[in-house]
């Protein structure tokens, strides 16, 4: 077995300093390392070195392995590392020991008094990822995550299973539509799917928000033709009693605020109307840009070429209905809540405090939907306090000039990566596939650009919720993502992005630099995967931020953390019981992965850990390069 370890002197390991280390050809050397050979690689880090220790099994009576663990303390120049400092650990291993093979129940014996949390029968991984690894290998795994909005077209157990099998990582529930009972049934189906079929689909609940929007249309959609007159009204109708070419509006003051000559924009510009006249609670409009009207589509209106936003600015970000929906989401244990039309960071702070007070043990990720000019004015502050962001391009395109949307999208994606927040690119990715079985070439180019920008996830809205071809739309997202990711790796685009420092606090800086260094090592050595052992998911997300060429295997002992990590770029989350003994964790996961056919002898991995030691009551952080025995 080859072991690669590194002792860091903090805070001398700064981002980019590993760039001087020539590891380009070391992958071949590592794989072909002769038994008993010792190779020392010089690293341009002050008072640091990297060593590879090769050992020979079965040829000698015994062997001694030296493993260096990273600890969060500075070592003065000239200090000697020995067993007394705790920076160097010596482990005597019997050379006659047989290779570890898992027993039939998938469990390995617990060694050295390590304690594991009970309740696991081995290792849990998404069945789609497992099949992909077995059939196509490490480099073929998809890094970009896929979010599907669930609606009438995809709400049954069988339809959800088809989406999960097609690569869905997150199921989104849009609270603009359906009853809470309907959403509860979908949540139960997703949970049952995960439990019975081996998936790890997370659930995101999207609040309705208090912006102006259409009501239900009495059917899934309606077509507005050029020149037709439609009535927008604040009167209440049952769906079955809705008059022809009539649209209900949720805002009581709508008829008072609009004026004849205004332009009414539906769903971010998918359909446009001119306001002809007002008749009490009704507003008569003429269609000037025909298109498909979808239930609950957002409405904005323009006057003299300017967005009329005063009334929207006065509405609260989270309505009374939203608070009831949020309570529902908390009680059902959703993984993420996306907040619509966020205007300031204070809204996110307030909601996170509200959630923490009600479920302190299992936090819910709060995502800010960036879809208004208000959110753009406070963009960095909003993203800084959020757990992630969604680029809702449809509504955003109704509030800023269309030609600015691509550059704004790139700005948001880059900012989220710098701040270590997952970002979802959403709205109209495959809009034509609501009705047609194949996408337009422009839509494929749009998806490609989002993947090239290294967005964490892409989202289907109407395409999967009510479209005629939800499975095909998801397949297009998956195939385009795979092809563009491969192209990015071939072009070595990762070398051009420099990440800013996230925190001034020493513990956070240590974690950040370990992950930066591990990602650089992985790219230069061309390893098969990065292993990260994490209880909260923080180190895994830091590694995802680096966008390495290889997949990241994130091992956690929490089912909730495992689902939440399913939204971050490049992560393949596993749930497995582990101890604070890094060596024992590695042996155990190696054996379990080999037994499942996901790895084989000779595979090369970089291993990172931030597990808190129960004995020493401190974080032992380490980087190792290991060849699977």
Of 603, 609, 563, 562, residue with least CA distance to 584: 609
Each residue's pLDDT tens digit, 488-523: 888 775 556 788 888 878 888 888 999 999 999 999
pTM, rounded to two decimals: 0.78
565 pLDDT exceeds 70? yes
**10: exposed, middle or buried (C-beta count within 10 Å: 0-12, 13-18, 19+)?**
middle
pLDDT of residue 25: 54
Query: pLDDT: is 167 or 45 the higher one?
Result: 167
272 pLDDT exceeds 60? yes
Q: What is the mean pLDDT of residues 320-340?
A: 96
Query: For residue 503, what are the contacts with CB-CB under 8 A and spacing of at least 6?
Result: 509, 512
pLDDT of residue 332: 96
Query: For residue 242, what are the contacts with CB-CB under 8 A and spacing of at least 6?
Result: 216, 217, 218, 248
pLDDT of residue 216: 80
Cis before 89? omega within 30? no
In the beta sheet, which residues pair with residue 146? 458
Distances (CA, A) of 91 to 94, 112, 156, 350, 589: 10, 11, 54, 50, 19
In the beta sheet, which residues pair with residue 367? 338, 388
What phi and psi values does residue 554 have, to the nearest 5 degrees? -100, 110
Domains of the chain (ranges, CATH numbers): 2-135+498-546+551-627 (3.40.1380.20), 140-210+315-494 (3.20.20.60), 222-307 (2.40.33.10)
Low-confidence winner among 33-37, 124-128, 395-399, 470-474 (lowest mean pLDDT): 33-37
pLDDT of residue 44: 34
Compute the mean pLDDT over every residue in the chain, rounded to the nearest whole number. Answer: 81
1 pLDDT exceeds 80? no
Maximum mean pLDDT: which of 144-148, 233-237, 318-322, 341-345: 144-148
E strand intervals along 112-177: 123-125, 145-149, 170-174
443/450 Cα distance (integer angstroms): 11
What is residue 432's DSSP assignment? G
Each residue's pLDDT tens digit, 541-557: 999 999 999 999 999 99
382/44 Cα distance (integer angstroms): 38
Q: What is the mean pLDDT of residues 598-613?
A: 86
222/245 Cα distance (integer angstroms): 9
Q: What is the mean pLDDT of residues 100-112?
A: 37
Give the confidence band of 379 by pLDDT, cuts at 50, 70, 90: very high
pLDDT of residue 359: 87
500/419 Cα distance (integer angstroms): 8
Each residue's pLDDT tens digit, 215-264: 887 677 789 999 999 999 999 888 778 889 999 998 888 888 889 999 99
Query: pLDDT: is 109 or 434 the higher one?
Result: 434
Of 129, 7, 123, 140, residue with least CA distance to 72: 7
45 pLDDT exceeds 50? no
Give the confidence band of 448 by pLDDT, cuts at 50, 70, 90: very high
Q: What is the mean pLDDT of residues 580-590?
A: 89
Give the confidence band of 184 by pLDDT, cuts at 50, 70, 90: very high
């Amino acid at each position: 077995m080859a072991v690669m370890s590194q002792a860091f002197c903090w805070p001398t390991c700064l981002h980019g300093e590993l760039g001087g280390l020539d590891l380009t050809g070391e992958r071949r050397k590592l794989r072909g390392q002769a038994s008993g050979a010792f190779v020392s690689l010089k690293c341009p880090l002050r008072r640091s070195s990297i060593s590879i220790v090769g050992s020979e099994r079965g040829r000698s009576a015994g062997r001694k392995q030296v493993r260096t663990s990273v600890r969060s303390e500075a070592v003065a120049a000239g200090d000697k590392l020995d067993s007394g400092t705790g920076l160097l650990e010596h482990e005597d291993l019997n050379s006659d020991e047989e290779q570890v093979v898992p027993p039939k129940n998938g469990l390995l014996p617990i060694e050295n008094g390590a304690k594991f949390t009970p309740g696991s029968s081995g290792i849990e991984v998404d069945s789609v990822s497992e099949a992909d690894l077995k059939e196509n290998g490490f480099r073929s795994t998809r890094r970009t995550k896929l979010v599907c909005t669930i609606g009438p077209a995809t709400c049954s157990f069988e339809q959800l299973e088809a989406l999960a099998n097609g690569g869905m990582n997150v199921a989104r529930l849009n609270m603009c539509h359906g009853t809470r009972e309907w959403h509860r049934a979908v949540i139960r189906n997703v949970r049952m799917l995960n439990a019975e079929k081996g998936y790890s689909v997370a659930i995101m609940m999207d609040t309705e928000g208090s912006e102006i929007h259409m009501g239900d249309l009495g059917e899934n959609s309606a077509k507005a033709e050029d020149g037709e007159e439609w009535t927008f009204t604040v009167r209440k109708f049952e769906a079955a009693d809705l008059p022809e070419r009539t649209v209900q509006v949720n805002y009581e003051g709508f008829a008072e605020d609009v004026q004849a000559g205004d332009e009414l924009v539906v769903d971010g510009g998918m359909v446009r109307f001119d306001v002809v006249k007002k008749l009490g609670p009704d507003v008569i409009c003429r269609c000037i840009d025909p298109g498909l009207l979808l239930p609950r589509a957002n409405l904005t209106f323009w006057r003299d070429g300017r967005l009329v936003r005063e009334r929207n600015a006065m509405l609260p970000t989270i309505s009374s209905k939203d608070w009831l929906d949020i309570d529902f989401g908390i009680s059902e244990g959703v993984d993420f809540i996306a907040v619509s039309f966020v205007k300031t960071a204070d809204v996110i702070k307030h909601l996170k405090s509200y959630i923490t007070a009600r479920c302190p043990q299992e936090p819910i990720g709060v995502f800010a939907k960036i879809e208004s000019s208000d959110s753009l004015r406070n963009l960095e502050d909003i993203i800084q306090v959020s757990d992630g962001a969604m680029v809702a391009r449809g509504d955003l395109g109704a509030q800023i000039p269309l030609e600015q949307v691509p550059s704004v999208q790139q700005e948001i994606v880059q900012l989220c990566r710098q701040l270590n927040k997952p970002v979802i690119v959403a709205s109209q990715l495959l809009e034509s596939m609501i009705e047609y079985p194949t996408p337009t070439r422009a839509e494929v180019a749009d998806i490609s650009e989002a993947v090239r920008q290294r967005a964490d996830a892409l989202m289907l809205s109407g395409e999967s919720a009510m479209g005629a071809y939800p499975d095909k739309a998801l397949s297009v997202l998956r195939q385009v993502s795979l092809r563009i990711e491969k192209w990015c790796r071939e072009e070595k685009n990762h070398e051009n992005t420099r990440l800013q420092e996230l925190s001034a606090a020493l513990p956070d800086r240590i974690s950040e630099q370990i992950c930066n260094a591990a990602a650089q090592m992985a790219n230069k050595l061309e390893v098969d995967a990065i292993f990260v052992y994490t209880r909260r998911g923080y180190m895994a997300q830091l590694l995802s931020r680096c966008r390495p060429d290889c997949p990241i295997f994130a091992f956690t002992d929490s089912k909730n953390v495992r689902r939440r990590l399913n939204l971050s770029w490049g992560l393949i989350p596993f749930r497995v019981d582990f101890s604070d003994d890094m060596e024992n964790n590695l042996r155990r996961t190696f054996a379990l992965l080999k037994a499942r056919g996901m790895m084989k002898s000779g595979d090369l991995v970089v291993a990172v850990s931030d597990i808190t030691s129960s004995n020493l009551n401190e974080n032992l952080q380490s980087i190792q390069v290991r060849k699977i025995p």
